[in-house]
Amino acid sequence: MNTGNNIFAERANWSFGNNTPEHFDEHVGKSVPFYEEGHNLVCYLSDYFCKNDSVCYELGSSTGQLTKKLALYNEHKPGIKWVGIDKEPGMIRKAKGNCTEIKNIEFHEADLMLFDFEKSDFIVSYYTIQFMPERHRQEFFNKIYEQLNWGGAFLLFEKVRAPDARFQDMMTGLYHDFKKRNGFTSEEIINKMQSLKGSLDPFSTEGNLEMLKRAGFVDIMSVMKYVCFEGFLAIK
């Protein structure tokens, strides 16, 4: 099934592998509202947490575009170590190719649950945790909290569910209209929905907040919200 931008996937079998890395940036830019603006916000927020000796992570770094933007935005702090993590080898190859000239970036092909994190001042998850199996999410949030330095930040962007069925219908309709305005056909939109079954499982705003609180975070606020997409800033 064509899910748009020549990315093909089978029912309930969405993959970030295969040919997805070659078309990912174009596809996601038209699929997620304010995608680039969200990148900019992440960079602006990094001013408050990233020191010249910081270790900073992007979780699910895909083609490395956000990691690259963060490194360039903070190039006056060349001592920062930027680390991108993704489990798809095609994404890692693409990311390394996009960032060959930036010396303080490294990318790792790894499972986030198994990765050995260093203590960090800034950890970014940009629409990644929603693809993690539900059974692992709380454990992973706990891990993120433990690996942050005191005063460090976890910046989490996620697609979110609405609080009830009526609002969910509205959010779904608005989101499909958004995708149509960006050039996706009705067939491509339905195909993408079919392919994401069992892969994309977002929680509600409250569900994400509760996981962050159970992990130990107390200082949490929403920093960006558009329909069913939201960014949360949690400070240890």
Query: Could you give the number of structural domains in the chain?
Result: 1
The CA distance from 103 to 117, in Å, is 20
- pLDDT tens by residue, 211-235: 999 999 999 999 999 999 999 999 9
170 within domain boundaries:
yes
236 within domain boundaries:
no
Query: For residue 26, what is the domain's CATH number?
Result: 3.40.50.150
Mean pLDDT of 8-35: 80
211 within domain boundaries:
no
Long-range contacts of residues 191-196, Cβ cutoff 8 Å, at least 24 apart? 191/1, 191/2, 191/3, 191/4, 191/9, 192/3, 192/4, 192/9, 192/14, 192/31, 194/1, 194/11, 194/12, 195/1, 195/3, 195/9, 195/10, 195/11, 195/12, 195/13, 195/14, 196/14
Q: Is the pTM of this model over 0.85?
A: yes
When mean pLDDT is compared across 1-10, 26-35, 162-171, the lowest value belongs to 1-10
pLDDT of residue 15: 64
14 within domain boundaries:
no
148 within domain boundaries:
yes
Sort strands 105-109 and 81-86 into parallel, antiparallel or unpaired: parallel
Q: What is the largest CA-CA distance in the chain?
A: 50
215 within domain boundaries:
no
Q: Mean pLDDT of all residues in the chain?
A: 93
Asked whether residue 17 carries a pLDDT value surpassing 70, the answer given is no
Residues spanned by the domain of 77: 20-92+111-202
pLDDT of residue 199: 84
The CA distance from 102 to 78, in Å, is 10
49 within domain boundaries:
yes
- pLDDT tens by residue, 105-161: 999 999 999 999 999 999 999 999 999 999 999 999 999 999 999 999 999 999 999
231 within domain boundaries:
no
How does residue 21 score in pLDDT terms, banded at 50, 70 and 90? confident
Number of H helices, E strands in the chain: 8, 7
